[in-house]
Chains A and B, each alone.
Chain A
Amino acid sequence: MTAGSMLLDAAAHAGFYGLMGRTSGPQIRGGEAAALLRLSPVPVEAPDDHFDILLAIDWLNVQRFAAELPLTPDSLIITDPDAGEVPAAIAAYGARIVELPMKELAKKIPGGRANMIALGAVAELVGLPVSAFTETLGKALKKKRQDALEASIAAVNAGAEAAKALQATARLGVPQGDLPPRWAITGNSAAGYGAIRGGVRFVAAYPITPATEMLEWMAPALQKVGGALVQAEDELASINMAIGASFGGTPSLTATSGPGLALMIEAIGLAVASETPVVVVDVMRGGPSTGIPTKTEQSDLNIALYGLHGDAPHLVLAPTSVADCLFTTQWAVHLAEAVQCPAIVLSDQSMAQTRAVIDRPADLAFVARRETVSALAAEETYKRYALTGTGVSPMAIPGTPGCQYTADGLEHSETGSPSSQASDHLAQLDKRLHKLTDYQYGDHWAVVEGEGDVAVLTWGSTTGAVREALALAQADGLKARLVAPRLLYPAQPEKMAEALDGVKRILVVEQSHLGQFHKYLRAEYDLPTRDVTLFNRPGPLPMRPGEIRQRLLSWR
């Protein structure tokens, strides 16, 4: 992992783009792990169809994720003679196998490590100068002694030297000139940063894979900007603490994964009924139940959309890339505060734990701006749940004199008094629905790109693969549109109709065994054609650009 990060950083410093995902076993320490890198002179958002180089320091338990490491006969497998035979599942790709005695080379350097030898070798093979590592290594080893840095540089050099004898397969080429300002960021950090930029200053959460790193990034960041992150005793406490803080006027958030979201559902309904803004980031992983905690899937769509009891309209959003985790989370904070409603943001393990080199995202105007009440006329009675034109009622923040009220999960009248009357129930249900459906969400509701009478509908992290597939297909002469809703609820039927106007054929791409997104589209939208094909698969295997392109081309 460390070597993978260093390679990405070094490539970034040399002017390249790239991303690094990861796959790992369940062990706490010392488990099998693979760093999955893609490097490119241009920005990339999805894993490629296959890997050009597979470098194995050892082969322990590789069968557990061999399927996540697709190779071709043109790929290069680098193996250490000490690691034994290349396992059959890997050798079956027919790729060229070369031996590099990484462990032995490392032994010759005092303090040398095999992973630094590997790093040097890969750098040499793809054409990255060793000098690119000096800064990266210096940063990574800043807490260690100078001799550790020297040993690492020596090992990288030795690895590069040894690799010169190997025939290179893929060269990175030349980086673009005039690079814009760039960031290296994970989806988890991007979502955390988006939340803080949107105004979140209180987070309560319970550790859960793969959302923990988002929380770990936010904890010190919140301290710096005058907020706080509280580690709660469980997810029930997390969401209710966030709701309590938001009731107090502080934009609040919690982050979790599927099992935690399931526990939070009752309280999200409370936030709907009491009209308390709160953002819940669900970093999806394989389900159901404990499922596959360390690996990705897009299978929490149903619970996010429809998991709440009662008629409980709320916001559901999904970022479409690592960079978009920042945009969408920041927008979600803005929307939740504007319409006084919970927002569930569906990220997933693949983008959350992918570290990507991206162009610096534009500054966004979206910040928390809750409609509040500061004072009342003398004889006026404050109505927390007043029926207004927009459905949004100004909220009194505790401390405001004369506006005391009790927020309630019980159905209530306009003043907030509990009511079981049919008329109050209908009026408040209407209010809570219309404040969502009448809101003007603008163009951000979806990624809409391309033209043609074929459309690919997808969402979340598979958007990048679809975008790349469409670019590939265009080179083959096929024009198609990409529509990836960022705002999943409330549905935007008019905008969807416009985006799909003239479309004759639709491919739905998603990473869910049940085809949850496909069912959602059929339920919430009138698609312009009955010619709809579903291309779905459960996690953890990513949807790759090449296979999506194949689907499209096979239609001709």
Chain B
Amino acid sequence: MDSKTAAPALTAKDFKSDLKPVWCPGCGDFTVLSSITKALAELGLRPEEVAVVSGIGCSSRLPAYLNTYGFHGVHGRALPTAAGLKLSRPELTVLAAGGDGDGYSIGGNHFLHAARRNADFTYVVMDNRVYGMTKGQPSPTTEPDWDSALTPGGTGLSPFRPLVIALASGANFVARAFSGDPNGTAEIIAEAIKHPGFSFIEVMSPCVTFRDEQRQWKTQVRPSPVPATSDRSQAARRLMTDDGFNIGILFKGDRTPYQPPLRARMTAADLEAEFAL
């Protein structure tokens, strides 16, 4: 596109749709939505060049609130759907978005393999440590003693550690953000989109309805005291002492993204030769 026909720069608002979110007033996901739109605008992308894929859950409703292409699929399968789209249409900017239950529980296997496969797209998990849409059951990241109707007295299980798993599985970009800091979150999302390969952002996004104790988060989070490293083992060591409240980019790797070449060398009719007697 030359300068004469270049479309005017878009603002974050241009990336929002007219649809009203079903989220509770004050939900952390509102600011994550804003952060995503801000990041897309800052990167100078056009809405039609972007596709956001999700599974099922409160936060997985997000694609419909964007003015980009979107796919609201089945529970837990955002990552393979996003991978299929990106691998077949590498020129698109692809994001996957969803919650902790969708991504770490029912979709847990895809999380490992998306990190391992390292296709070039960004995964934003809005982690509120609870199933909101089904009204308050523990997720993999819920504290072991959190009481619920389904798990009286708590699950007694150690929480899933998303950053550790992402890093160990091969993710090429690993970060933690906090929905209470939308600008900081937008910056991290923009960095993640720009970084080649599978980028993973765990966004702490409080649930105002089922987890009001998460009001403490805003006093607990702090900017990570150290800058991002490109050394995976150093990042792993940092996670050993991480208390879950360091905000920022932990790791930026240099793995080559997985992308089949999609270059035709012959026609379908040419393949016939191998069967002919």
Interface residues, chain A, with chain B CB atoms under 8 Å away? 12-13, 181-185, 189, 193, 196-197, 201-202, 204, 221, 223-228, 230, 232-234, 236-238, 240-250, 252, 266-267, 269-270, 274, 357, 360, 363, 396, 398-410, 416-418
Chain B residues lying within 8 Å of A224, measured Cβ to Cβ, are 264-266, 270-271
A399-B89 in contact (CB<8A):
yes
Task: Report how far A405 CA is from B83 CA in the complex, Å.
Answer: 19
Q: Given A228-B262, A241-B83, A244-B84, are A250 and B89 also a contact pair (CB < 8 Å)?
A: yes
CB < 8 Å: which of A197, A244, A403, A416 contacts B82? A244
Question: Digit string of B248-270 for contact with A (CB within 8 Å is 1, else 0)?
Answer: 00000000000011111111111
Chain B residues lying within 8 Å of A399, measured Cβ to Cβ, are 48-49, 89, 91-92
Task: Report how far A332 CA is from B263 CA in the complex, Å.
Answer: 25
CB < 8 Å: which of A223, A250, A400 contacts B88? A250
Q: Given A243-B84, A248-B85, A401-B46, are A270 and B92 also a contact pair (CB < 8 Å)?
A: no
In the assembled complex, how far is the CB of residue B119 from the closest CB belonging to chain A, in whole angstroms? 9
Whether B68 is near chain A, meaning CB under 8 Å from some CB there, is yes
Q: How many A-B residue pairs have CB under 8 A?
A: 188
Whether B24 is near chain A, meaning CB under 8 Å from some CB there, is no
CB < 8 Å: which of A197, A244, A267 contacts B85? A244
Chain B interface size band reads 35 or more
B72-A407 in contact (CB<8A):
yes
B89-A249 in contact (CB<8A):
yes
In the assembled complex, how far is the CB of residue B75 from the closest CB belonging to chain A, in whole angstroms? 8
State the 10 A-B residue pairs at the shortest beta-carbon distance, nearest first.
A244-B84, A226-B264, A406-B70, A241-B84, A228-B260, A244-B81, A245-B88, A237-B80, A233-B113, A183-B275
Q: Given A184-B277, A202-B88, are A407 and B70 also a contact pair (CB < 8 Å)?
A: yes
Chain A residues lying within 8 Å of B66, measured Cβ to Cβ, are 406
Task: Report how far A185 CA is from B272 CA in the complex, Å.
Answer: 10
Task: List the A residue with the shortest CB-CB distance to B263.
Answer: A226
Whether B19 is near chain A, meaning CB under 8 Å from some CB there, is yes
Chain A residues lying within 8 Å of B85, measured Cβ to Cβ, are 244-245, 247-248, 398
Q: Given A227-B262, A228-B87, A404-B47, are A267 and B74 also a contact pair (CB < 8 Å)?
A: yes
B72-A410 in contact (CB<8A):
yes
B74-A244 in contact (CB<8A):
no
Would you give 29 A-B contacts (Cβ < 8 Å), ordered by A?
Answer: A13-B277, A183-B272, A184-B275, A193-B268, A197-B268, A224-B270, A224-B271, A225-B267, A228-B88, A230-B84, A233-B80, A236-B80, A236-B110, A240-B74, A240-B77, A244-B73, A244-B80, A244-B82, A244-B84, A247-B51, A274-B71, A363-B269, A398-B92, A399-B48, A401-B48, A404-B48, A404-B68, A404-B70, A409-B74
A404-B89 in contact (CB<8A):
no
Interface residues, chain B, with chain A CB atoms under 8 Å away? 19, 46-49, 51, 53, 61, 63-64, 66-74, 76-77, 79-89, 91-92, 109-110, 112-113, 260-272, 275-277
Q: Given A248-B92, A404-B48, are A242 and B109 also a contact pair (CB < 8 Å)?
A: no
Chain A residues lying within 8 Å of B77, measured Cβ to Cβ, are 236-237, 240, 267
B64-A408 in contact (CB<8A):
yes
B81-A243 in contact (CB<8A):
yes
Task: Report how far A238 CA is from B110 CA in the complex, Å.
Answer: 11
In the assembled complex, how far is the CB of residue A266 from the closest CB belonging to chain B, in whole angstroms? 5
Given A183-B277, A232-B80, A404-B67, 6 new contacts (CB under 8 A): A227-B262, A233-B109, A234-B109, A242-B84, A398-B49, A408-B72
Chain A residues lying within 8 Å of B276, measured Cβ to Cβ, are 181-183, 360
Task: List the B residue with the shortest CB-CB distance to A367.
Answer: B268
In the assembled complex, how far is the CB of residue B126 from the closest CB belonging to chain A, in whole angstroms? 17
Chain A residues lying within 8 Å of B48, measured Cβ to Cβ, are 398-404
Task: List the A residue with the shortest CB-CB distance to B47.
Answer: A404
Task: Report how far A237 CA is from B48 CA in the complex, Å.
Answer: 25
B74, B84, B275: most-surrounded residue (chain A CB, <10 A): B84
Task: Report how far A495 CA is from B76 CA in the complex, Å.
Answer: 42
Q: Given A183-B275, A233-B113, A408-B72, are A240 and B81 also a contact pair (CB < 8 Å)?
A: yes
